[in-house]
């Protein structure tokens, strides 16, 4: 206190630790007019970031003095003759407002507080008498806090979890806390005070949580809560067809819903040990395959899928190409028959055995050709084709 000044100092020491004779003296002279002082309704204020803070304040002075200047300061060190006036500080001037007439009530509002505003603040007044002035110690301590969600990173499905909305000081304004998940306000399951209790956590409870105070603009940074659970919905997809031709592979893909991601093993139904691992598996053989997904919370297996590997059949190949080159196949076939026949005739000459020259109608190659012809209209050779005409000739022989 900078009051080394005559009667004022006496009154002040009375306020601190009143010696009995002095009280007696003052009562006689009437305390009401001689009282100097500043009082604040809150000496510690804990406010939320971006909120408005009200610093309630009243002051008294003897009526024989005239008030010259009243102001708030945050610096108990004089700059020149006086302490710096907060309302002349560019960082405060726009945000500071006196709510009353300054005659006895020195209450101010400071808006949009930031953490930089955390400080001590004092009310100061001066009168027309040089030594009649007052510095309102001990002042008001302002702490500006943000909010932080305190939560475990992950929780297992079915467990319960408690989230806390933390501030660095106990908020003076005891407003209601509100909670958000993925920016959506949670209307239900709000717990008492600044806590959110999630009982028997479900997978849908996973998300980014933030908290705020009702009727305040500030919202805490969001914190991710992850819900872990055993694999579910494990199934195998076949990429492509389940029927493949020998030498090709079919890719099986295992899908599962789990958190954390699962390890996947592949099994063939008739084998006890796994045949592979990883999300996808290339089946080379026929069989029934399934996958099994597991993480630290459990495991689940899929239904089996059937993979059929077919041998390469000449017939199917011919069928496939017959539209394009039926005639060529026919010529080749006849060429084979002709060669056989020639060999046969040659042998017959050697063996003098005419029977050996009969063409076997059950020859598999020939059969395939006829099959192909019957199976597809486009494969029918033209009836007057000279090549075709050769066949009855051979048959007649």
Ligand X SMILES: *[C@@H]1O[C@H](CO)[C@@H](O)[C@H](O)[C@H]1NC(C)=O
All residues at 6 or more sequence positions from 218 whose CB lies less than 8 Å from its CB, including other chains: 48, 49, 50, 51, 146, 147, 212
* Contacts (CB under 6 A) with ligand X, residues 233-262: 233, 239, 251, 253, 257
| SS3 state of residue 20 | helix
Look-up of token digits 């005739």: 345
The residues with which 298 forms a beta bridge, in sequence order, are: 295
Two tokens, residue 154:
């992950």
Residues 1 and 81: their CA atoms lie apart, in Å, by: 15
Residue closer to ligand X, measured from CB, 128 or 271: 128
**CB of residue 200 to ligand X, shortest distance in Å:** 17
All residues at 6 or more sequence positions from 92 whose CB lies less than 8 Å from its CB, including other chains: 86, 110
Scanning 26-34, 100-108, 260-268, 308-316 for contacts with ligand X by CB under 6 A, the matching segment is 100-108
* Contacts (CB under 6 A) with ligand X, residues 118-147: 128-129
For strand 140-145 and strand 44-48, is the pairing parallel, antiparallel, or unpaired? parallel
* Contacts (CB under 6 A) with ligand X, residues 194-233: 217-218, 232-233
Residue closer to ligand X, measured from CB, 105 or 296: 105
How many chain residues interact with ligand X (CB under 6 A)?
A: 21
Residue closer to ligand X, measured from CB, 65 or 388: 65
Residue closer to ligand X, measured from CB, 103 or 351: 103
Site string for ligand X, 263-302 (x = CB under 6 A): ----------------------------------------
Buried b (16+ CB within 10 A) or exposed e, 97-110: ebeeebeeebbbeb
Out of 2, 33, 66, 351, point to the residue binding ligand X (CB under 6 A): 66
Residues 120 and 73: their CA atoms lie apart, in Å, by: 9
User: CB–CB of 196/179 below 8 Å?
Assistant: yes
Out of 64, 88, 269, 353, point to the residue binding ligand X (CB under 6 A): 64
Give the footprint of ligand X on this chain (CB under 6 A).
Answer: 50, 56, 58, 64-66, 99-100, 105, 107, 112, 128-129, 217-218, 232-233, 239, 251, 253, 257
């Amino acid at each position: 206190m900078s009051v080394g000044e005559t009667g004022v100092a006496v009154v002040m020491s009375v306020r601190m630790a009143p010696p009995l004779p002095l009280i007696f003296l003052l009562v006689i002279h009437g305390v009401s007019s001689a009282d100097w002082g500043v009082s604040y309704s809150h000496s510690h204020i804990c406010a939320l970031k971006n909120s408005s803070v009200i610093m309630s304040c009243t002051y008294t002075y003897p009526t024989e003095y005239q008030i010259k200047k009243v102001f708030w300061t945050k610096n108990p060190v004089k700059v020149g003759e006086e302490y710096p006036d907060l309302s002349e500080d560019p960082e405060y001037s726009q945000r500071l407002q006196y709510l009353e007439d300054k005659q006895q009530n020195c209450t101010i509002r400071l808006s949009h507080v930031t953490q930089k505003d955390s400080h001590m603040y004092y009310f100061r007044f001066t009168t027309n008498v040089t030594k009649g002035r007052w510095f309102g110690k001990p002042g008001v301590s302002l702490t500006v806090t943000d909010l932080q969600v305190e939560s475990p990173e992950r929780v297992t499905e079915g467990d319960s979890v408690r989230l806390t909305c933390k501030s660095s000081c106990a908020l003076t304004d005891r407003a209601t806390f509100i909670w958000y998940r993925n920016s959506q306000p949670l209307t239900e399951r709000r717990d008492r005070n600044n806590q959110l209790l999630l009982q028997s956590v479900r997978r849908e409870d996973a998300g980014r949580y933030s908290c705020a105070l009702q009727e305040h603009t500030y919202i805490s940074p969001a914190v991710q809560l992850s819900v872990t659970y055993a694999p579910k919905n494990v199934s195998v997809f076949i990429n492509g067809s389940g029927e493949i031709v020998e030498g090709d592979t079919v890719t099986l893909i295992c899908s599962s819903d789990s958190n954390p991601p699962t390890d996947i093993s592949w099994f063939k139904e008739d084998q006890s040990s796994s045949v592979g691992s990883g999300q996808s598996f290339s089946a080379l053989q026929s069989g029934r395959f399934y996958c099994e997904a597991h993480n630290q919370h459990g495991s689940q297996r899929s239904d089996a899928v059937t993979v059929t590997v077919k041998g390469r059949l000449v017939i199917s190949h011919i069928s496939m190409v017959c539209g394009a080159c039926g005639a060529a196949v026919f010529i080749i076939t006849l060429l084979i028959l002709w060669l056989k026949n020639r060999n046969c005739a040659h042998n017959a000459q050697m063996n003098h055995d005419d029977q050996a020259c009969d063409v076997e109608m059950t020859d598999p190659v020939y059969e395939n050709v006829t099959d192909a012809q019957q199976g597809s209209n486009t494969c029918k050779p033209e009836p007057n084709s000279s090549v075709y005409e050769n066949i009855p000739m051979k048959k007649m022989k």
